Amino acid sequence: MSNIISPLKRVTVKASNEYQILIGRGLLARAGELIADFIPKCKIALITDDTVDALYSGVVEKSLISSGYSVIKFVFSHGEQSKNLETYGKILNFLAQNGVTRTDCVVALGGGVTGDMAGFVSATYLRGIKCVQMPTTLLAQIDSSVGGKTAVDLPAGKNLVGAFCQPKLVLCDVDTLSTLPDEIYRDGMGEVAKYALLDKKIYSLINGGDYQIEDLIYRCVDYKRQIVEKDEFEGGLRRLLNLGHTPAHGIERLSNYTIPHGKAVAMGLNIVVENACKHGYIAQSTKSEMLSAISKCAGELTLPYSVKDILENALTDKKRSGDSIAVIMPYGIGDAREVKIEVSKLWGYLT
The mean predicted confidence, pLDDT, of the chain is 93
Edge-to-edge strand ranges of the sheet holding 324-332: 320-321, 324-332, 335-342
Q: Please state the domain count of the chain.
A: 2
Using one digit for the tens of pLDDT, what is the confidence trace for 149-167? 999 999 988 899 999 999 9
The predicted pLDDT at position 320 comes to 58
Amino acid at position 319, single letter: K
Residues forming beta bridges with residue 21, ordered by sequence position: 11, 170
Is 242 found in the same domain as 142?
Answer: no
Domain extent, residue 68, equals 9-179
CB 166 within 8 A of CB 148: yes
- The SS3 call for residue 189 is helix
CATH label of the domain that carries residue 284: 1.20.1090.10
CA distance 175 to 136: 9
Closest CA to 120 of 106, 134, 109, 110: 106
pTM for the structure as a whole: 0.92
The band of 4, judged by pLDDT with boundaries at 50, 70 and 90, is very low
Domain end: 154, 179, 204, which one? 179
Give the least confident one: 194-198, 204-208, 342-346. 342-346
Q: Which residues contact 27 (CB under 8 A, 6 or more apart)?
A: 34, 134, 171, 172, 173, 175
Cα 104–chain centre separation: 24
Same domain, 130 and 278: no
